[in-house]
Structure 1
Amino acid sequence: MKSLEAFLDTILILLIFVYQPFCLSLVLDSITPNNTVKDGDVLLSGQKTFALGFFSPGKSRYRYVGIWYYKDPEKTAVWVANRDDPINETSGVLAIDSKGRLIIYAKDQNSPIWSANVSVPSEKSSSSFIAKLLDVGNLVLIKQDNSTVIWQSFDYPTNTYLPFMKLGLNRKSGLNRFISSWKSADDPGTGNCTYRIDSTGYPQMFAYKNRVPFWRAGSWTGQRWSGVSTMTNGFLDNTSYVNNQDEISVMYGISTDSNSVFSRFVIEESETVRQFTWQDQGHEWVESWYAPNDWCDSYKRCGGNGNCDPSDVSRFECVCLPGFEPRSQKSWELRDASGGCMRKGGARTCEGREGFLKMTRVKLPDTSNALVEMGLSLRECKKKCLKDCNCTAYTSVDETKDGVGCLSWHGDLVDVKTYSNTGFDLYIRVDATTLVKESQSKTLLGNIPPETFLKESDLGDDRADSDVPLFDLHTIAAATANFSVDNKLGQGGFGSVYKGILSNGKEIAVKRLSKCSGQGSQEFKNEVMLIAKLQHRNLVRILGCCIEEKEKMIVYEYLPNKSLDCFIFDGEKRKSLDWQKLFNIICGVARGMLYLHHDSRLRIIHRDLKASNVLLDTAMNPKIADFGMARIFGGEQIEADTNRVVGTYGYMSPEYAMEGRFSIKSDVYSFGVLLLEIIAGKKNTIYYENFDSNLVGHVWDLWIEGKALEIMDSSLDKSYASEALRCIIIGLLCVQELATDRPTMSAVVSMLGNDSALPRPKQPAFVCKRSYTSGDPSTSGGAKSVTCTEVEAR
């Protein structure tokens, strides 16, 4: 019998190739025993969403059977049948054989090159089966008598995860669906990188290379993976996750009103997971999300009990969790945190006086050693964890159901990361000493516990004194078209800013504080009170505020040119700023800061001066904005300490970022960074020379080599080189490591306005230390002066 079947298969193959030269390429809607797909033919899905056929990837000469979106002229394959068994000529055929299997034949082969992994009952004839390509991209083999699917390509993904495709484990059959990378752009063979669900402990998604995790998407929280802060572009709103006795799986879909939206996730050999969305206008795939996207996304970047904060690339991103210290201080000084952290001084956390500290906006730790009890509330979870000496942390399981379920960790907390404006709450077990210390400071790694919303009475007598008009919520909503996305000007760490038009035609800008923002009542009061009391042409003007129904909003004058960063870091927009305009902006910001530090009736430290907080009016005059983090100094006070470091890394002075010590010289440092960014047209966080230094360090290197003007943006008029060089030197003076070495803003304004000789800059802060010759200006004692025409270090 078997020999007869083999004979019939051989006859079928011969018939296919005897008639192939006389057949034209066909467009098919199904595959039957009498209807095959030859190289050059195309099988289409019902609504022509997907196509199947033979293709050669990249520069390869080999042929493969693949599926792609029909609109895609590049035929970007989302599934490959014979990925590890290529055909070296154009004689391939996809057919249903006498056994009812989907197979791929080539002319010089007597046996299939590839066949679908399915067992067909021997009594069934091949005429009982038909294969179709569905409009979700799934190739299915069906029994015609009862329409039962006996095999589908969705069960055997290659490198692409499509909408309505399941990833995960079927616990009954043992089938595990996951995606694996190609070997290269020219070879779709099975690569070394995979993206799959790990069912160990509390299930989570991992990306692996050679079976070693390199990125963790985390556990399911009810609407997303805990390790994914932002993903997609809003189309994926019906993701389903299943975890029961039959299966553990995840499937994402596209909203019903977005049927024209095409999406795909791809795992690449370069250790990256990417999402692409099809753009009809450009007839191309556009990347809309990828991971890992920063150093802190690297799995176990900071070892056990470490926390990774990517917000400042100028400093080491790893810190120990509360109550912990580095296992090897020397390794951490060398920026190697792989050894992780241990309890401080061998502190014990099971003596009856310990408790839990709340971390906010974090990526939950690896749940491989976590336990889940869905019947417990968050309060009950805390009690149970406290009674178990091995329980190191806890949180709720499902963020969509008011904290339902108890998720607890037993052992080291691994792969924790801090997010800027999203993430989850994590309660970490600490000893009594740490609990008291952290509770008194009310800070935790820069994350402040939520505060109650500000009531109108909270403004008290200050509001009357400042004469701040109060807008009602209805007026603001009407002015902004109910906070329409079309009116959104931008978004910061504390919320969104919208353009509005009042009933009298006056344009306004509305800063709407996010309800989950880290900015609480005190910061809001700061911003309202400070700006209302300050009057200067280089400070943004407040028109009023709104405090209603848990909303906190500030109404400003509207500045049509938005913020400075939109110009200086945009190649096209920057061309509209000649040197004179840039110099006027530099001087205007300097005058505004001088007013804050010396000339107003209050002495104010801004603490967050940066390009995005400098707004531009119609004449491109700069106005300093965002006073939520500002501090008022009284009398002759010039310095203070804080346990809460706020602001933007890259602009922070070393004494503030590392010791919590801030002063007017902290603002001077930020101004120096901003000044250098304006001249260079590049962000300070851009790194140079194989990541050896940031912008400040790069300018310093050029300065000591006598090449400082090389940093000047090429679009600027070189006839102003002398003035630009003077600004560069002033910028370097502002970012010197010691606060006492930096000039005051009064001195800065004076230096910008005359041609007198300038002091020689010393080594800036936050740059890589190098060994220089004896001519290094940082070791020359600082007694000499330099003029703007002198470009060589002496």
Structure 2
Amino acid sequence: MMATVRRLLKTFLVFHLLHLSTSIDTISSTQFIKDGDLIISRGKIFALGFFSPGNSVKRYVGIWYFQVSEPTIVWVANRDSPVNDSSGILSIDTDGNLALFESNQTVPLWTTNISVVPEKNAVAQLLDSGNLVLLQNDTGKLLWQSFDCPTHTLLPFMKLGLNRRTGLNRELIAWKSADDPGTGKFSYRIDPTGFPQLTLYKGTTKWWRSGSWTGQRWSGVPEMTSNYIFNVTFINNQDEISIVYGVTKPVTTRLMVNESGFVQRFTWSNSDHRWIGFWSAPKEQCDYYDHCGANSNCDPYHADKFECTCLPGFEPNSLDEWYLRDTSGGCKRKRDMSMCQKGEGFVKVAHVKIPDTNITRVEMSLDLKACERECLRNCSCLSYSSAYGESKGGIGCLMYHGDLIDTRSYTNAAGQDLYLRVDAAELALYTKKGSLSKKTILAIVLVISVATILLVAFVFWLFRRRRRAEKAGDGKNIEFNFTSSLTQFEDSMNVNEPDGNRRDFDLPMFQLSTIVEATNNFSVDRKLGEGGFGSVYKGILQNGKEVAIKRLSKYSGQGIEQFKNEVLLIAKLQHKNLVSILGYCIEGEEKMLVYEYLSNKSLDSFIFNETKRAALDWSKRFEIICGIARGILYLHQDSRLKIIHRDLKASNVLLDATMNPRISDFGLARIFGGDQIEANTNRVVGTYGYMSPEYAMIGQFSIKSDVYSFGVLLLEIITGKKNSGFYLEDAASSNLVGHIWDLWREGRSLEMVDVLLRESYRTQEVMRCIQIGLLCVQEQAADRPTMAMVVSMLGNDKDLPSPKRPAFIATRITNTDENSRGINSANEVTISIVLGR
């Protein structure tokens, strides 16, 4: 932060000093400027001179705002050919070109490079618009202008677009960095193919697009509404295709492409003395090009759902990948759809940024109705849309004949309507305007009515049942049938263990009335949290002992088997890094476990909370890592039962008063025989983001499944970031493991260490832990170490093997093989059922 401030102060000081050595607004054959001189536009709006950006010592010729206190460069002449010292001179050369020379060199570093009249007849002038023009002195004829050679900034009344006659393409290209104005990797230009649109590129890959021009705005820029400040002119004819942003009021505004890949518009606030962000893109996941894959729609307005859905008439190319939030395969036509002159029609998808228009057939003479008829006659026409919406009377037709790429939804009246071709069977669910048919509406109303009646009846029956129980019972408001449930539970516990012996089950059973009293009737004030299978409450027994009570929801999916499993396992496990169970309660539909109370709650409440995380220095985090490792090793090897936890994650690690870790929640654990190595299941349970690939995809689990989960957890502890919740604009990978792997290969893995650790860690020790984490998350289970090996690695300084590529590496925004899409898993959701392939 201080370095940034110093850099701004340095730049400001340089600009301020340059203001003191001002000149006129022109350069002629007899009037040149050297480093330290300025020319200033007539109205003192813009200045031109030499500058050094950021921390650089190299010199560039640029244009900036003269009266804006924050140094703001809007154009650079020699962006890729800097002057290495302060000897630069900008002058009119003998050919009449404006040229930049260094020292006594005769070859210019930069020149306007045009054929003009003799040098005495040319003059360069800086205008109040920010445009540097080269004119023929006697006639005033324009020979060259900086507005035709933009860098990273678009000023008012400056054209952006293509001159079809001359081939001149005016585009914005970002700087390489804040210290280097050289040609960067992001460019912003009009794509003239198909129906024109503005597109932001990262290299040759599309990064974001504006959508098509509707006559009033770009369809993908809903903020572009009125002409209150901006007067926009869009030109599309045989000579040129361009857009010009004019201003109707005296405001200082600019549009720029920054080095991080954002298009931004700013306005200057004279009262606050700063630039205020007016608009920026991309600003959310759905803005990134092709975020959901081909033939899909991205809807960011339903936070409780996955933002990607297939368009009507389409289904995911791969259900397994789609379920795992990998949408790189996109969607395909449903296999049973027959769509050529067999009663098919169109379904309307309203208020969207219509798909990429570079593959469209454009018929500007057709209205929307004629467009529908034309598309229906052509069996290869998959959808259509109005080119201009209603802004030009609905005239203008766009027809799509290939995959539909980069569609996204907007709220209210933003966006345009897209009409999708569907077969007769799917069309029966819709009218031609996209609403449900009368028969479908009638059926839905009927179903809802019946369901409502049944629900009311059920609630009434439940109420009567509860009232009878209160009158017949001991006054408590929880009904139970003690005898039958307890007998069923105790009978189910009398089973042979894997070693062939029968064990006595000896664990205290709590009465329901005792639990109700201890939790103040399950008061909200006593609630500690909520997991996948129910809620956890703090309880205070009559003797004053504090306990944690896990109350299983009857709708949770954890039945008598999972409950028995957790009681049986924890009762038989004794280790300082495993949570201790004090008893259980089972009466009627109530199933509860009574644990020791751990005052610091779960690990995730610390490492994912910036305030609490600051209290965990490296030594404490390393102790937690080692404690978790020893606890898993005990489960895998040192206990008399070999146990696979299957749901190891930050929220299932509790911390006692001295911050020692205790592994909890054994509801999903499985017992292995002494010589058993692995097992399969058709019911995959656990939490994506911590789940090993062989378990998530084919239901195969082993001790290496827990090793994978431990590796993810270790990396989360070091970085303070969630694996699947990780998001960084510049990162190629969209999960934490993938990003750390990328940095590891580049020798930069320490960049991901939690900044709150500051100087509390030893570099070699943290590097070793990162390497151990990457060894644990390798894609092949056979490559991962055992927990015995992990504990050994954590306890000594011997050389470690190099890790191989991790599983589930996810990358952002795919358009080429180089940028393949990855998986965005929902880390905090416990998955109940997934059928293995």
Q: TM-score under structure 1 normalisation?
A: 0.55
Query: How many Å apart are 1:110 and its aligned residue?
Result: 2.4
The 8 Å contact of residues 202 and 372 in structure 1, kept in 2 or not, is answered as yes
Letter aligned with residue 424 of structure 2: A
**CA–CA separation in structure 2 for the residues paired with 1:89 and 1:75:** 21
**CA–CA separation in structure 2 for the residues paired with 1:639 and 1:442:** 36
Superposed CA deviations along residues 134-190 of structure 1, whole A, max 9, x for unmatched, are 122111011122211110001001011111111111111111110111111100001
Letter aligned with residue 399 of structure 2: S
Query: How many Å apart are 1:351 and its aligned residue?
Result: 2.7
Q: Quick one: which of 275, 283, 290 aligns to 2:265?
A: 275
Partner residue in 2 for 1:343: 333
**CA–CA separation in structure 2 for the residues paired with 1:200 and 1:308:** 24
Partner residue in 1 for 2:551: 760
**CA–CA separation in structure 2 for the residues paired with 1:127 and 1:350:** 71
Percent identity over the alignment is 46
Query: How many Å apart are 1:441 and its aligned residue?
Result: 12
Query: How many Å apart are 1:72 and its aligned residue?
Result: 2.3
Query: How many Å apart are 1:318 and its aligned residue?
Result: 1.1
Q: Quick one: which of 216, 221, 227 aligns to 1:228?
A: 221
The 8 Å contact of residues 726 and 788 in structure 1, kept in 2 or not, is answered as no
Query: How many Å apart are 1:785 and its aligned residue?
Result: 6.7
**CA–CA separation in structure 1 for the residues paired with 2:48 and 2:129:** 12
Partner residue in 1 for 2:75: 79
Distance 1:235 1:787, change over 3 A: farther
Partner residue in 2 for 1:184: 177
The 8 Å contact of residues 737 and 764 in structure 1, kept in 2 or not, is answered as no
Superposed CA deviations along residues 492-533 of structure 1, whole A, max 9, x for unmatched, are xxxxxxxxxxxxxxxxxxxxxxxxxxxxxxxxxxxxxxxxxx
Secondary structure of the 2:26 match is coil
Query: How many Å apart are 1:111 and its aligned residue?
Result: 2.0
Partner residue in 1 for 2:55: 59
Q: Does 1:92 align with 2:88?
A: yes
Query: How many Å apart are 1:732 and its aligned residue?
Result: 4.5
The 8 Å contact of residues 100 and 108 in structure 2, kept in 1 or not, is answered as yes
Secondary structure of the 1:381 match is helix
Superposed CA deviations along residues 63-115 of structure 1, whole A, max 9, x for unmatched, are 11111112223321110001011011122121112221101122242221111
**CA–CA separation in structure 2 for the residues paired with 1:40 and 1:356:** 66
The 8 Å contact of residues 385 and 399 in structure 2, kept in 1 or not, is answered as yes
Q: Does 1:424 align with 2:399?
A: no
**CA–CA separation in structure 1 for the residues paired with 2:427 and 2:143:** 59
Letter aligned with residue 374 of structure 2: K
Letter aligned with residue 551 of structure 2: R
Query: How many Å apart are 1:116 and its aligned residue?
Result: 0.8
The 8 Å contact of residues 266 and 275 in structure 2, kept in 1 or not, is answered as yes
Superposed CA deviations along residues 269-314 of structure 1, whole A, max 9, x for unmatched, are 2121111111111211122211111111111111111111112445
Distance 1:323 1:638, change over 3 A: farther
Partner residue in 1 for 2:295: 305
**CA–CA separation in structure 2 for the residues paired with 1:100 and 1:639:** 93
Partner residue in 1 for 2:99: 103
The 8 Å contact of residues 535 and 552 in structure 2, kept in 1 or not, is answered as no
Partner residue in 2 for 1:390: 380
The 8 Å contact of residues 174 and 257 in structure 2, kept in 1 or not, is answered as yes
Partner residue in 2 for 1:530: none
Q: Does 1:136 align with 2:117?
A: no
Partner residue in 1 for 2:145: 152
Partner residue in 1 for 2:24: 28
Higher Cα radius of gyration: 2
Secondary structure of the 2:371 match is helix
Secondary structure of the 2:100 match is strand
Query: How many Å apart are 1:51 and its aligned residue?
Result: 1.4
Query: How many Å apart are 1:361 and its aligned residue?
Result: 1.2
Q: Quick one: which of 187, 194, 205 aligns to 1:194?
A: 187
Query: How many Å apart are 1:731 and its aligned residue?
Result: 8.6
Letter aligned with residue 326 of structure 1: P
Partner residue in 1 for 2:817: none
**CA–CA separation in structure 1 for the residues paired with 2:270 and 2:295:** 47
Partner residue in 1 for 2:670: none
**CA–CA separation in structure 2 for the residues paired with 1:148 and 1:171:** 22
Query: How many Å apart are 1:197 and its aligned residue?
Result: 1.0
**CA–CA separation in structure 1 for the residues paired with 2:365 and 2:69:** 52
Q: Quick one: which of 371, 374, 377 aligns to 2:364?
A: 374
Distance 1:26 1:372, change over 3 A: same
Secondary structure of the 2:247 match is coil
Q: Does 1:437 align with 2:429?
A: yes
Partner residue in 2 for 1:637: 455
Q: RMSD between aligned alpha carbons?
A: 3.8
The 8 Å contact of residues 276 and 285 in structure 1, kept in 2 or not, is answered as yes
Instruction: State how 1:736-755 maps to structure 2 within 5 Å.
Output: none
Letter aligned with residue 225 of structure 1: W
The 8 Å contact of residues 33 and 127 in structure 1, kept in 2 or not, is answered as yes
Letter aligned with residue 69 of structure 1: Y
Distance 1:302 1:786, change over 3 A: same
Partner residue in 2 for 1:209: 202
Q: Quick one: which of 592, 614, 624 aligns to 1:784?
A: 592
Partner residue in 1 for 2:306: 316
Q: Does 1:240 align with 2:233?
A: yes
**CA–CA separation in structure 2 for the residues paired with 1:381 and 1:420:** 25
Q: Does 1:409 align with 2:400?
A: yes
The 8 Å contact of residues 39 and 90 in structure 1, kept in 2 or not, is answered as yes
Letter aligned with residue 760 of structure 1: R
**CA–CA separation in structure 1 for the residues paired with 2:225 and 2:47:** 24
The 8 Å contact of residues 231 and 289 in structure 1, kept in 2 or not, is answered as no
Secondary structure of the 1:33 match is coil
Letter aligned with residue 215 of structure 1: W
Query: How many Å apart are 1:220 and its aligned residue?
Result: 1.1
**CA–CA separation in structure 1 for the residues paired with 2:457 and 2:138:** 84
Letter aligned with residue 357 of structure 2: T
The 8 Å contact of residues 348 and 433 in structure 2, kept in 1 or not, is answered as no
The 8 Å contact of residues 732 and 764 in structure 1, kept in 2 or not, is answered as no
Letter aligned with residue 56 of structure 1: S
**CA–CA separation in structure 2 for the residues paired with 1:788 and 1:253:** 69
Q: Quick one: which of 73, 85, 110 aligns to 1:114?
A: 110
Superposed CA deviations along residues 449-494 of structure 1, whole A, max 9, x for unmatched, are 9xxxxxxxxxxxxxxxxxxxxxxxxxxxxxxxxxxxxxxxxxxxxx
The 8 Å contact of residues 28 and 41 in structure 1, kept in 2 or not, is answered as no
**CA–CA separation in structure 1 for the residues paired with 2:424 and 2:241:** 40
Query: How many Å apart are 1:46 and its aligned residue?
Result: 2.2
Secondary structure of the 1:434 match is helix
Secondary structure of the 2:425 match is helix
Distance 1:83 1:639, change over 3 A: farther
Q: Does 1:69 align with 2:65?
A: yes
Structure 2: gaps spanning 5 or more residues: 1-19, 439-447, 459-518, 537-545, 557-565, 571-578, 602-653, 655-663, 665-837
Query: How many Å apart are 1:438 and its aligned residue?
Result: 3.8
The 8 Å contact of residues 60 and 83 in structure 2, kept in 1 or not, is answered as yes
The 8 Å contact of residues 347 and 431 in structure 1, kept in 2 or not, is answered as yes
The 8 Å contact of residues 59 and 84 in structure 2, kept in 1 or not, is answered as yes
Letter aligned with residue 145 of structure 1: D
Query: How many Å apart are 1:636 and its aligned residue?
Result: 6.8
Partner residue in 2 for 1:169: 162
Distance 1:79 1:233, change over 3 A: farther
Letter aligned with residue 405 of structure 2: V
Partner residue in 1 for 2:280: 290
Greater RCO, CA 8 A, separation 6+: 2
Distance 1:101 1:764, change over 3 A: farther
Q: TM-score under structure 2 normalisation?
A: 0.53
Q: Does 1:43 align with 2:39?
A: yes
